[in-house]
Amino acid sequence: MHLYRKMKEVISFLQDELIVVKKSKQLISTQLSQKDSQLKKIELENKRLLEQCSLLMNQNKNLSHSYKEKIIKQEADISRLTILADYHSSRNQDLEYKKRKYLLIIIGEALVLTKKLLIMGNQKIRRVKIIHQIKTLLAEYESCFYKDNFQLDKDAKRILEEVDNYLNKWKNYYEGYIWNAKPVENRDINYIESILKELHYLSLYKRFEKYKERVVEVEVLFQILKDKRKIQRNYSFKKFCNEINFMDKHKHINFESFVISRVFPGKTYTFLKSFSNVHYDFKLLKTYGMYHLLYVYGSYKNNTFKVGVTKKNLNSRYLKAKEVYEKKFLSGDFQEITLIESFNALNLESYLKRKFKEYRHPLFNSTEWFLLQKPEVDYFINNEYQKDTEFMKILGYSLNK
């Protein structure tokens, strides 16, 4: 009886365990079914995504090909338009587009360096170097016009002169000078930026005029003048350059039709025709236009004469010479002997001083007063000087031929 009860309990326990196992199996089966369903959904989603990716890749491939074709077409259009712009520019004798682009690059670099000046603290020496770099860049901007026979536009020249004015003031300040000097300030940089933007605009769009005469660098001019035997074969190029620079800097010489006046120092550009039409003689050129009148005052009675030059103050020169004369002589017969107009008056005076060197007046401690007898006086009053080849060569020399 006890054994039977024991077995019944075991069987009941096993039955319960079996039920639990069945329920667990059923639960696992349900979970597996759910997971399988989820996996199928994921697979379907992945398949859908793969199809979308494939579609997008095909679209992207098509778009890339399309964009590539558009880019190629745009590049071809740009190239065609550039050629047309250059053709139009050359046909209308205007500056080519590619050269305008180079001008814009120069302006951009100059602006970057200008802004850099504002953030350099106390670096005075480095600032001066940057200012020099800006000047060099803008000198190249100028040269881009001259080397292709174009005039520097008046608005561009005005802007360059304004920029140069600021650069000179900054340079003076950081080199320790007080006169015409000021430090770099934010408002100045802003103003420079605004006028450089204006320069950018007109460099890109404005039409530029060409010089009517051929413009050449001084090196080319030197060689052409040598080939044409306008200057001697053994003439030094360095000497020639120094002479051209000297004449360009001296404003009494009307040299604008010979050498282009620059805003920023750079290569020297000259007008070939102007130099071809004159005999190059630096001795005559260097003082050309300094004085316009050669005068001879004096007294026939005392054989005393003064040779001199003036630009326009003829009356004051006469009164001063008369005053000096009357300190030596009591007679009041001092008068005008002859007057010759010439832009080479100073060279004429120098020639006469050499010619009559032996006749210098002993009462005057001067190279301008002479003691002349009738044969020498006739040189002036009877136009005998017209028979003097050397005198007439100087008198006849002109830059306006």
Which tokens sit at 329?
A: 């002589």
Residue 354 in this model has a pLDDT that exceeds 70: yes
Range 221-246 average pLDDT? 87
- Estimate the crossing angle of helix 124-146 against helix 154-174, to 10 degrees: 160
Residue-level pLDDT at 59: 74
CA distance 261 to 256: 7
CA distance 296 to 354: 15
Residue-level pLDDT at 230: 84
Residue-level pLDDT at 49: 80
Handedness of CA 100, 105, 106, 108 (dihedral sign): positive
CA distance 124 to 172: 11
Name the residue with higher pLDDT: 181 or 19. 181
The 3-state DSSP class for residue 360 equals strand
Q: Is the pTM of this model over 0.85?
A: no
Q: Which residue has the tokens 């006169």?
A: 179
Beta bridge partners of 217: 269
Handedness of CA 19, 22, 28, 34 (dihedral sign): negative
Range 278-296 average pLDDT? 87
C-beta atoms surrounding 215 within 10 Å? 21
CA distance 251 to 389: 29
For 45-54, 124-133, 268-277, which range has the lowest pLDDT when averaged over its residues? 45-54
Residue-level pLDDT at 309: 94
User: Could you report the per-residue pLDDT of 63-76, keeping only the tens digit for each?
Assistant: 666 667 777 777 66
Residue-level pLDDT at 341: 92
Residue 84 in this model has a pLDDT that exceeds 60: no
> Are 208 and 95 contacting, i.e. CB atoms less than 8 angstroms apart?
yes
User: Could you report the per-residue pLDDT of 377-396, keeping only the tens digit for each?
Assistant: 889 888 788 999 999 999 98
DSSP annotation of 52: H
CA distance 154 to 157: 5
User: Could you report the per-residue pLDDT of 182-206, keeping only the tens digit for each?
Assistant: 999 999 999 999 999 999 999 988 8
Handedness of CA 83, 87, 93, 94 (dihedral sign): negative
Residue 253 in this model has a pLDDT that exceeds 60: yes
C-beta atoms surrounding 264 within 10 Å? 19
Half-sphere exposure of 354 (CA within 13 A, CB side): 8
Range 307-328 average pLDDT? 91
DSSP string, 325-345: HHHH------EEEEEEE-TTH
Residue 89 in this model has a pLDDT that exceeds 50: no
Tally: H helices and E strands in the chain: 13, 6
Q: What share of the chain is helix, strand, coil (3-state, %, to 5)?
A: 65, 10, 25
DSSP string, 272-321: HHHHHTS---HHHHTTTTT--EEEEEEETTTTEEEEEEESS-HHHHHHHH
The alpha helices in 95-123, defined as continuous H runs, are: 97-116
Residue-level pLDDT at 91: 47
DSSP string, 181-243: -----HHHHHHHHHHHHHHHHHHHH---PBPSSPEEEHHHHHHHHHHTTSS-TT--HHHHHHH
Of the pLDDT bands very low, low, confident and very high (cuts 50, 70, 90), residue 24 is confident
